[in-house]
Structure 1
């Protein structure tokens, strides 16, 4: 979008964790409103003196947020509002530090445990699970005594199983929700 630029490429102004999105990771998306991407929320930000995050606006939450978390795109939208609130409460620097750790965990999962079929699952799981749960899952993976003898497919299946178990324990569905 002409005239709109973001400094923070990990966390969008509307609350998406862009750094955990498969499109962003594949370099198919440059983030909020960059280049030819049109976004009504980016346009709104420009109309409100270029606020960095929607929670900074006196009108937030506005009508743009009424159904924002009902469906997903390439990344889950389920935690947009709660992630914006968390960032507001703990501050952007602390929120970004957590997101950077999540990006590292996702990188580890994709580099060492993706059999070519788990990228979306790993992205959604890292986005929706809490950081302490992800650390625990990664610890279980890395501490498995026979890890070095497993094939990539077996490692991938084990990592996916642990992530699904952590999600199930918290009543989290790791499938992206499509618009019907």
Structure 2
């Protein structure tokens, strides 16, 4: 959106973790307020109309009608923790929250570089997004301790990493899938 610029390109105006999004990782999206981005974003337009609010939780009208139904389905990135992440960012402070997200992004890059057999990017982005930082750290420790790159194929490492993530998510009763919008019947 023209003239919509933000300093924080990791955590969006509406509460999505852009730094963990496959579209941003692949360079297709600069992140919320990073330039081209989503040209029709009604939330970005609203921010500009309200003096450039950095995060919706800073607005006295949050949550407003723009959020109705927005979390029913995911896009390229999960929307499932948006409100929880807002609460965490507001409570802990945005700098602390961003530091946690940077750590998650580093672990995600490690997964994509060493445990992605070409079919796991969305899964890893979703898993790192939905699990808490301590859980992601624990999974990464298990992965690094149990999977030696010189002793297994990439496909074996990817399958084992996915299994470890699913086990941790199961302990937390988290489903590691994007909520896709049903296709319209013709």
TM-score by length of structure 2 reads: 0.93
Aligned to 2:136: 134
Runs of 5+ consecutive residues of structure 1 not aligned to the other structure: none
Aligned to 2:40: 38
Q: What is the CA–CA distance in structure 2 between the aligned matches of 1:144 and 1:179, rounded to whole Å?
A: 37
Is residue 17–residue 127 contact of structure 1 (8 Å, CA) maintained in 2?
yes
Task: Give how far 1:111 is off.
Answer: 0.4
Q: What is the CA–CA distance in structure 1 between the aligned matches of 2:102 and 2:118, rounded to whole Å?
A: 23
Aligned to 2:115: 113
Tell me if 1:4 matches 2:1. Answer: no
Cα deviations by residue, 1:82-120 (Å, 9 ceiling, x for unpaired): 111110000000000000000001001000100101111
Q: What SS class does the counterpart of residue 28 from structure 2 fall into?
A: coil
Cα deviations by residue, 1:143-179 (Å, 9 ceiling, x for unpaired): 1275530111000001000011111111111111111
Q: What is the CA–CA distance in structure 1 between the aligned matches of 2:67 and 2:147, rounded to whole Å?
A: 47
Is residue 32–residue 39 contact of structure 1 (8 Å, CA) maintained in 2?
no
Aligned to 2:81: 79
Is residue 29–residue 36 contact of structure 2 (8 Å, CA) maintained in 1?
no
Tell me if 1:25 matches 2:28. Answer: no
Q: Structure 2 vs 1, CA of residues 2 and 171 (structure 1 numbering), >3 Å: closer, same or farther?
A: same
Q: What is the CA–CA distance in structure 2 between the aligned matches of 1:148 and 1:126, rounded to whole Å?
A: 25
Q: What SS class does the counterpart of residue 78 from structure 2 fall into?
A: coil
Q: What is the CA–CA distance in structure 1 between the aligned matches of 2:149 and 2:45, rounded to whole Å?
A: 49
Runs of 5+ consecutive residues of structure 2 not aligned to the other structure: none
TM-score by length of structure 1 reads: 0.96
Is residue 14–residue 54 contact of structure 1 (8 Å, CA) maintained in 2?
yes
Give the alignment partner of residue 101 of structure 2, picking from 99, 102, 105: 99
Which deviates the most, 64-73 or 144-153?
Answer: 144-153
Is residue 114–residue 156 contact of structure 1 (8 Å, CA) maintained in 2?
yes
Aligned to 1:56: 58
